[in-house]
Amino acid sequence: MLRTRHEQGMDHRRIGTILAELGLITARDRAQAEAFQREVGGLYGQALLRLGALGEPDLLKALSSQLDLPILPPQAAPDASACLAAAESLGLPLSWFLQKSVPVWCLPVEKPDAAPNGSPDASRDEIPDEPTWQPGIICAAPRHSLDPDILEMLESRASCVRIHLAANSLIDSLLTHFDQASASAMEDDETDTARLREMAEEAPVIDFVNTIFNQALNEGASDIHIEPSEHMFQVRSRIDGVLHVKATQPRRRFDAVVSRVKLLSGMDIAERRLPQDGRQTIRISGEEVDLRVSSLPTSWGEGLVLRLLRKQRTLLDLSGLGLYGRARDVLDDLLRENHGIILVTGPTGSGKSTTLYRALETVNDGIRKIITIEDPVEYDMTGVSQIQTKSEIGYDFARGLRAILRQDPDVIMIGEIRDGETAAIAAQAALTGHLVLSTLHTNSALAAIPRLIDLGLEPFLVASALIGTAAQRLVRRLCPHCARDETNPQRIAQQNAFIDRMAADCLALQSVIDKNPARWRTAPGCDQCSHSGYQGRLALFEIAAIDGAIAEAISAGRSLRDMIQIARQSGFMTLIEDGAEKARAGETTLDEVLRVVGASVAMAH
């Protein structure tokens, strides 16, 4: 490394000693400089300069001897192209070189003479080639020559760094190259921003974006994806959990469309190098809609994902979501409790928030104080105090939860338990007489138990505080307009055999099979469902009440598999089993259940 090489060649004597031996300062100069340094601070050499006891050329000569560094003479100063090539090679912003007072430059590759042996210079009328630079070599003349932070930064980005000493006036002159380039870049950015803003306000762009929004709302899309590639970009909408291509456009229109969306969502249209998030309330066809946008720079430009949330939304009731039978009875019993934690688990987009809101409506009887802390608040609820986290000021779930506990709540809803601190406060709240509802990211209901332990809760605390846990997934419903009974006998036999294998391990599923005849259905697709065969979505559930037997298993450190077997004795059904039952009843298809829950889960049966 550079510093090691310099340390080996350095003269470790004090700079004052070297200057005195060179006859450049007197003993009186040394004494005055030391007194000045004690009173004012700073470097010894700078003290001599400020006292007028020494000229800068002599100081550079002594420092060169002490530090074993060459001096950059003014006549060898690099030009702007060499400086800016080095800055680009290092990959640092121009502002860094200005703030640190570090001019850098590349060394040009020496070219052979174009006209050897004194022959006429035949190339003097040709346009000179662009300069080429010696690869991997960066020269620098930092004002603070041995600042370890500067040296570390340069050495981490170049294979060979050559440090020089230079007069302050020369350093200032070299830094003007960086200053002028930075100002020019800012002007270019301002011009580019103005151009993008103009493009975003053009009528065809506005019409195209509005058409995308209107179509997405009419089709019930949850998300819109705007995705660039080399020669085109496409717009896809996520409908019932599946992406569908809605438009393909030439690449030349992409910047204008992206700028339009970023303007609408309050994002910085000039920033295209970093991910951004934006949020704004807009009106589409007279309806208020929450627009949430995420941008991600890719190799072909910024990819955008938009979420459109209607302000006036009606929540499906729990039965409409697909929660009925024993699972509904278990959840209703849990919601009648006055303390304990109820968790809903599943991946993003599986409907956890909708289930929690419906559960809150069930307990919102007007005689209990209900407070939520969310990120973000997705539904406005009458009679419920709803709080939005603000991460930018440190107001997270844990901090908000502490404040909520001082507000005399009966029921608390936490948008998500993300860390051990939030989990610990939630458990404390549950054990002190509060009903706590929240979500976790786990693959199954009972997997919430080891997850809480992983977050730092002791098993006995989980066993005491947790009263119930649920998992869910969303599958597509068969289209009511074109669905029909399955008539293929081989297909019917295969599906019956599949569900019979599952029922061998699940008494609750076997009971359903015994009571209800199978109604396997299929749907060829029609205009009403865009020929997909599906319309709308249905939730699959698995719900477990943490009874005495499961609580004992938690405290004893039993495995997740053991806890599932214990829960089965009370009628517990897994997601795949609930999905198979709903497919057998003709609400969806077995293929759709396996697509969402996963074929690997089914293979276990």
Is the pLDDT at 314 greater than 80? The verdict is no
* Contact between residue 145 and residue 63 where contact means Cβ atoms under 8 Å apart: yes
For residue 118, the model assigns a pLDDT of 45
CA proximity to 141, closest of 44, 41, 60, 85: 60
For residue 9, the model assigns a pLDDT of 57
- Quote the tokens at residue 165: 């000493």
pTM of the model: 0.64
- 436 beta partners: 341, 412
For residue 191, the model assigns a pLDDT of 58
Q: What is the mean pLDDT of residues 28-35?
A: 85
* Calpha distance 242→221 (Å, rounded): 9
Report the chain's mean pLDDT, rounded to a whole number.
Answer: 87
* Calpha distance 100→80 (Å, rounded): 18
The residue whose two tokens read 């192209």 is 81
For residue 115, the model assigns a pLDDT of 47
* Calpha distance 265→242 (Å, rounded): 24
Is the pLDDT at 129 greater than 60? The verdict is no
Grouping H, G, I as helix, E, B as strand and the rest as coil, residue 481 is coil
For residue 181, the model assigns a pLDDT of 81
For residue 280, the model assigns a pLDDT of 86
Counting Cβ atoms within 10 Å, is residue 191 exposed (0-12), middle (13-18) or buried (19+)?
Answer: exposed
Is the pLDDT at 114 greater than 70? The verdict is no
The residue whose two tokens read 């069930």 is 362
Bigger pLDDT: 28 vs 114:
28
* Calpha distance 325→542 (Å, rounded): 12
* Calpha distance 226→249 (Å, rounded): 10
Is the pLDDT at 3 greater than 80? The verdict is no
- Quote the tokens at residue 21: 């031996």
Q: What is the mean pLDDT of residues 493-518?
A: 90
Bigger pLDDT: 433 vs 290:
433
| DSSP 8-state class, residue 76 | G
Is the pLDDT at 313 greater than 70? The verdict is no
The answer to whether the peptide bond before residue 517 is cis (omega within 30 degrees of 0) is no
Domains of the chain: 2-67 (no CATH), 202-310 (3.30.450.90), 318-603 (3.40.50.300)
* Calpha distance 114→111 (Å, rounded): 8
* Calpha distance 548→352 (Å, rounded): 26
For residue 512, the model assigns a pLDDT of 87
* Calpha distance 156→153 (Å, rounded): 5
* Calpha distance 259→256 (Å, rounded): 5
138-180 pLDDT, tens digit each: 999 998 887 888 999 999 888 899 999 999 889 989 998 888 8
List all residues 6 or more positions away from 242 whose beta carbon is below 8 Å from its beta carbon.
476, 532
Is the pLDDT at 12 greater than 90? The verdict is no
* Contact between residue 49 and residue 37 where contact means Cβ atoms under 8 Å apart: no
Q: How far is CA 429 from CA 1, 49, 460, in A?
A: 56, 67, 16
67-71, 185-189, 213-217, 465-469: least confident range: 185-189
CA proximity to 343, closest of 538, 540, 543, 539: 543
Q: In what order do the strands lie in the sheet with 242-250?
A: 242-250, 232-239, 223-228, 301-310, 287-298, 276-284
Q: What is the mean pLDDT of residues 196-212?
A: 86
Is the pLDDT at 18 greater than 60? The verdict is yes
For residue 376, the model assigns a pLDDT of 81
| DSSP 8-state class, residue 146 | T
| pLDDT class of 185 with cuts at 50, 70, 90 | low
Amino acid at position 60, single letter: L
**Max alpha carbon distance in the chain (Å)?**
110
* Calpha distance 437→357 (Å, rounded): 10
| pLDDT class of 124 with cuts at 50, 70, 90 | very low
